[in-house]
């Protein structure tokens, strides 16, 4: 059954009418669409998580552009619940590394269940996190769990994890597209990041993304990506 469309005032009594503007949309010829789709996929296929970074510097403008790209992500109720804290101060990076390695050491040597160890074995990761001091930028992504007004009162945010994850996906794609590389790092637990970076109580660190050039001779684990038939279904299975 399809229902008649309600008026705005019926659903939102007392709220001001939203402001609309024409959608800007450039329709492309089908051949051009195919060409672009293939080129974009080829480009993304070449992305790899890098764990060895060169110490070569990267301009702040490039990091800002990656963050601006991330900030174009859709978000639940347009709350944009992401904060990107870009760290370049060597002393601060050193402190982040020290705290992260402390937690990671405990994880790898005591806390890690066997199933998790088995999942990580093909990657060969360990508790020494050189990337946190080698990469010129370490971008820490925070999720705004709820909104905080200047007077200290709070308001609800929606789908914050999903929204921040989408934004980070765009950030990673932007970094790759501009000719740099990154690592999606999740030190566990990572509460120390909020304290070290002076973030407010409504934010929670979600990911750490060192950004830079790969170290000369950097290697990555040989991995296989799932085939289309394994990740895609059309209509009911």
Ligand X SMILES: Cc1cc2nc3c(=O)[nH]c(=O)nc-3n(C[C@H](O)[C@H](O)[C@H](O)COP(=O)(O)O)c2cc1C
88 versus 184: smaller Cβ distance to ligand X:
184
Cβ nearer to ligand X, comparing 223 with 234: 223
Distances (CA, A) of 116 to 103, 112, 167: 16, 6, 26
Residue 220 CB, nearest approach to ligand X (Å): 6
Q: Nearest residue to ligand X, using CB?
A: 49
Task: For ligand X, give the closer residue by CB, 184 or 202.
Answer: 184
Shortest Cβ 103–ligand X spacing (Å): 11
Q: 155-158: list long-range contacts, CB under 8 Å, 24+ apart.
A: 157/76, 157/77, 157/79, 157/81, 158/76, 158/77, 158/79
Task: Provide the minimum distance between the beta carbon of 145 and ligand X in the complex, in angstroms, as a whole number.
Answer: 18
For the bound state, the minimum distance from the C-beta of residue 225 to ligand X, rounded and expressed in Å, comes to 7
Interacting residue ranges for ligand X, rule: CB under 6 A: 48-49, 51, 123, 125, 183-186, 220, 223
Nearer to ligand X, 148 or 173 (CB): 173
Q: How far apart are CA 44 and CA 196, in angstroms?
A: 33
Least distance to ligand X, CB of residue 22, Å: 37
Nearer to ligand X, 90 or 221 (CB): 221
146-148 and 154-156 strand pairing: antiparallel
Q: Nearest approach, Cβ of 202 to ligand X (angstroms)?
A: 22
Q: CB nearer to ligand X: give 154 or 188.
A: 188
218, 219, 224, 225: CA torsion to nearest 10: -20
């Amino acid at each position: 059954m399809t229902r008649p469309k309600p008026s705005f005032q019926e659903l939102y009594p007392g709220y001001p009418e939203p402001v609309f503007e024409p959608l800007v949309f450039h329709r492309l010829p089908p051949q051009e669409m195919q060409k672009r789709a293939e080129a974009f996929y080829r480009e993304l296929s070449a992305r790899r998580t890098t764990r060895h970074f060169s110490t070569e510097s990267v301009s702040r403008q490039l990091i800002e552009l990656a963050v601006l790209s991330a900030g174009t992500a859709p978000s639940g109720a347009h709350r944009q619940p992401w904060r990107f804290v870009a760290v370049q101060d060597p002393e601060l990076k050193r402190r982040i590394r020290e705290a992260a390695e402390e937690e990671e050491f405990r994880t790898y040597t005591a806390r890690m269940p066997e199933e998790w160890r088995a999942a990580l074995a093909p990657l060969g990761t360990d508790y020494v996190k050189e990337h946190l001091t080698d990469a010129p930028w370490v971008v820490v992504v925070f999720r705004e769990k709820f909104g905080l007004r200047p007077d200290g009162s709070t308001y609800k945010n929606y789908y914050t994890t999903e929204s921040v994850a989408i934004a980070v996906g765009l950030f990673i794609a932007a970094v790759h597209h501009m000719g740099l590389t990154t690592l999606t790092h999740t030190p566990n637990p990572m509460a120390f990041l909020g304290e070290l970076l002076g973030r407010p109580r409504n934010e929670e660190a979600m990911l750490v993304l060192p950004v830079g050039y790969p170290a000369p001779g950097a290697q990555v684990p040989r991995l296989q990506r799932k085939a289309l038939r394994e990740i895609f279904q059309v209509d009911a299975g």
